[in-house]
Structure 1
Amino acid sequence: MLKQFFIICSGSDTNILDNCSIGEQNKYAGIGATVFFTAVMAFIAASYALYTVFDNLLAAIFFGFVWGLLIFNLDRFIVSTIKKRNNVLDELIQASPRIILAIIIAVVISKPLELKIFEKEINQVLLTEKNQMTLDNKSELAKQFDPGVEALENNIQSLQQQIDTKEAEVNALYDTYISEAEGTAGTKLLGKGPVYKEKREKHDAALAELNQLKEENKTKIQEAETQIAQLKTDYNAQVSNTQPIIDGFDGLMARVNALDKLPWLPSFFIFLLFLAIETSPIFAKLLSPKGEYDYKLEDAETAVKTWVEQKVNEREILLKTDMAINNKIYNDIAEEDELYTYKRKKARELMQLQADAFFKHQKNAL
């Protein structure tokens, strides 16, 4: 039962193969088994690749099964269409397009399995890339918000500088009128005289201006700090909104690119393994000697070809004979006087009708 199934998978003619030796049947059963298990590997590889894309197990299994059937059909077609010939070079030329197709299929099948085999290493590469992308993302977003924050901070410093300058001025006036009262500077007269009062009034006026400036600048500083806090909140919100995109950077293309950053030799050997599996049925047929099945298949095909060529040749001979007979018949009829007289009469009537029609047309025109 299993042997018959694998023979069907090989694409061979079961009616012919049933009449061949056991060894010949086993050879094609082995070829069919290779075709079948290659399709199974294609199903597994495609299912995993699609699962990484859609993150849906049922959809991945369904489309992976369709892909496995497609690979099975292609391999079965490739193997079944390779015919044994008497010339090795002709066989290689015949099989070269199929070998190229087998190489392409091997690449498609091996790549998803490589992604699964080296999953841990790929995750490490992706983690490093995500961390770097996070830093780059924060740096790019900071370029949008930092100029505004910097301008506001400079404005706060400017406002605070105004207060400090005014305070320094008030303190200097305070020291001046105190020194005047103590007699250590200015007029150097002890007591609160007219000069003292003048300097005290100047200090008090400057102190009032300082208090007014503090109130105004405090309001402006609070507004600037509120704007800075809002900008920082917007920056953090933008970082939070873009981070899921970076966290989701683990699709099929990202994993393939990450795989390319790993050492190439292990991946190359896996590719060679699947290439050997995919091309083994083809080379098995090319390298094996012409067997009983090949001779019987060639006999059946040449019998049909000969029969078709014979039928075509018979039709050509029949056509030539029929044309020769018809030509002879028409030549004999052409020599009869009765046919000549009849055609002459009809020609005369036709010319009379033409003359009458022309005359009528000319008369209407005038």
Structure 2
Amino acid sequence: MSLSLWLARLSGARPEILAKAPGDVNKHAAMGGVLLSTSGVAAVSAFFALHSVLELPLAAAAAAGLVWGVIIFNLDRMLVVTMTRGNGWVLNLIAALPRIALAVVIGTIISMPLVLKIFEPEINSELIAMQAETIQRNQDEYDQAYDKITELEAEEKRLLDVLAGRAEAVVSDDPDVKAAKSALDAAEKAYQDASQSAQCEFDGTCGTGVPGDGESYRQKKRAADDARATRDRARTALDDVTAKVTKRIQDGSSTDVDNANRRLPEVRADLDRLRADREDLEKRGSTATAADTGLLARLEALDRLTENRRSGGQAHLALFLLFLCVELLPVVVKTLTSFGPETLYDRLAKRADDGTDHDDKLWADRDRDLAVDRADQKLAMERHRLDAQTKAHAKTTQLVADKQLAMAVKAIDVWGQLAQLRTDEELDRWYRDHVGADEPRTMPIRRPIFPPADGGHLNGGHVNGTHLNGTQRNGTPSATPNP
């Protein structure tokens, strides 16, 4: 088989029809070449994606790419083979739309790895910049999450200064003094707000808007007085706490060195724990950021490259459209050829299909007629069998009825003979009793004639040599048997 015929068969052409239309071999061979080219591009694209992105070994990536190329070839061949001429260009276009949509999807999948491979140097540079931004962003988040470390470091430095004698105890640094000072500041702010509100109400610039001494002003004035009393109590409390702390420092009741010795181990333990947690989190974040070079990261880098660069966007679009057109080419060509006039191959294929359909219809009609004939023959045979069974049954029934009638007639004859014999015996007995036993009888007693039951010969009124009228064959009277 020549290469052209082999490529034509790959495109779905039928060899027996191509033998009759040799002029169409090149067209179908070109379609087969396009299918092979598309599957080859798909295989290369899958190889780059698996080897570059997933970092598979060369052999494994090549094997997987080959399998992907075979899959794409089968899909494209299916799309081309299933596209046939319809009844008009509108129907052809409607039938081609789903296949074109599927080809667009396949082309997009195929083109993306190739585009990533072509822009690989720029994408790698952008990935480094993205990783640096991610590390800085993570660092800011770590600083916010672990701001306690800064506070503990400042406290550690203060405690070390106290232990080294570089710092003296100050009343304002005492925690109790700080708390009292914060309470005074809050009370002072509350008094100032209440005083301003009362004055504003008195001037008529806020609140009810009526100037002068009214009910609203008196209420706000009482609130301001209460806030002032609270402020005065807070100031008194601050003075008391300050006096106590001052006296404690002056009297030496509590030394900063002792407090620093007690507090410093706690501060250092907390610092070590928080620093270890932060170091572990930073290490894991750096590892994850460095490993973030997969397909999604590369696609994001490609989007960033082409977002603000006109030339990059145009190059990306051009490459994408190129590989998309390679995938769409078989379907588009098949669609366009369906709009043109029929070729010799198309006409021969149509006639062959119509002839096959006609022959199949004839064979179907013949099989149907044979089935009908077989059914009729089987029906006739069944009817004949039923008729024979009916006749045999009727004949058997008639024979049984005749036999039963003969048996009934014979039974009636025997009964009549027995009845006659009984009557003769009764008459004979009566005669003996009333006439006399010595008087000769003028008429012998008749005996019944029974049909032979043991194979005896019945002829002329004799049964086994015995005469039926009561006398033997030699004329000697026989004894009269009892019935």
Alignment TM-score, normalising by the size of structure 1: 0.70
Q: 1:40 to 1:221 in 2, by over 3 A?
A: same
List runs of 5+ in structure 1 lacking aligned partners. 169-204, 346-366
Instruction: State the match for 2:208 in structure 1.
Output: none
Q: Distance in 1 between matches of 2:92 and 2:132?
A: 55
Task: Determine if contact 2:7/2:33 at 8 Å carries over to the other structure.
Answer: yes
Instruction: State the match for 1:280 in structure 2.
Output: 329
Which of the numbers 288, 300, 303 marks the counterpart of 1:245?
Answer: 288
Q: Distance in 1 between matches of 2:94 and 2:393?
A: 66
Is 2:124 the partner of 1:123? yes
Query: Secondary structure of 1:165's partner?
Result: coil
Query: Secondary structure of 1:318's partner?
Result: helix
CA-CA distance at 1:152 after TM superposition: 5.8
Instruction: State the match for 1:255 in structure 2.
Output: 298
Q: Which amino acid aligns with 2:75?
A: L
Is 2:52 the partner of 1:3? no
Q: Which amino acid aligns with 1:306?
A: H
List runs of 5+ in structure 2 lacking aligned partners. 173-248, 308-312, 399-483
**After superposition, what is the alpha-carbon deviation per residue over 1:162-191, rounded to whole angstroms, capped at 9, x for unaligned?**
9522799xxxxxxxxxxxxxxxxxxxxxxx
Which of the numbers 261, 267, 271 marks the counterpart of 1:228?
Answer: 271
Q: Which amino acid aligns with 1:138?
A: Q
Q: Which amino acid aligns with 1:310?
A: L
Q: Distance in 2 between matches of 1:279 and 1:218?
A: 80
Instruction: State the match for 1:114 in structure 2.
Output: 115
Q: 1:127 to 1:332 in 2, by over 3 A?
A: same
* Worse-superposed segment, 310-319 or 335-344: 335-344
Is 2:69 the partner of 1:68? yes
Q: Which amino acid aligns with 1:90?
A: L
Instruction: State the match for 2:101 in structure 1.
Output: 100
Q: Distance in 2 between matches of 1:120 and 1:3?
A: 41
Task: Determine if contact 1:43/1:64 at 8 Å carries over to the other structure.
Answer: yes
Instruction: State the match for 2:373 in structure 1.
Output: 321
Q: 1:275 to 1:155 in 2, by over 3 A?
A: closer
Is 2:387 the partner of 1:338? no
**After superposition, what is the alpha-carbon deviation per residue over 1:58-84, rounded to whole angstroms, capped at 9, x for unaligned?**
222211111011111221222233234
CA-CA distance at 1:243 after TM superposition: 0.4
**After superposition, what is the alpha-carbon deviation per residue over 1:305-334, rounded to whole angstroms, capped at 9, x for unaligned?**
222222111122222233334444545555
CA-CA distance at 1:249 after TM superposition: 0.9
Alignment TM-score, normalising by the size of structure 2: 0.55
Task: Determine if contact 2:104/2:324 at 8 Å carries over to the other structure.
Answer: yes
**After superposition, what is the alpha-carbon deviation per residue over 1:85-131, rounded to whole angstroms, capped at 9, x for unaligned?**
56323333343332222111111111111212233443344333322
Which of the numbers 357, 365, 368 marks the counterpart of 1:305?
Answer: 357
Query: Secondary structure of 2:83's partner?
Result: coil
Q: Distance in 1 between matches of 2:86 and 2:326?
A: 24
Is 2:81 the partner of 1:80? yes
Instruction: State the match for 1:164 in structure 2.
Output: 168
Instruction: State the match for 2:50 in structure 1.
Output: 50
Q: Distance in 1 between matches of 2:372 and 2:317?
A: 65
Query: Secondary structure of 2:13's partner?
Result: coil
Query: Secondary structure of 1:274's partner?
Result: helix
Instruction: State the match for 1:214 in structure 2.
Output: 257
Q: Distance in 2 between matches of 1:47 and 1:18?
A: 39
Q: 1:306 to 1:217 in 2, by over 3 A?
A: same
Please say which structure displays the higher CA radius of gyration. Answer: 2
Higher share of residues assigned helix: 1
Task: Determine if contact 1:39/1:69 at 8 Å carries over to the other structure.
Answer: yes
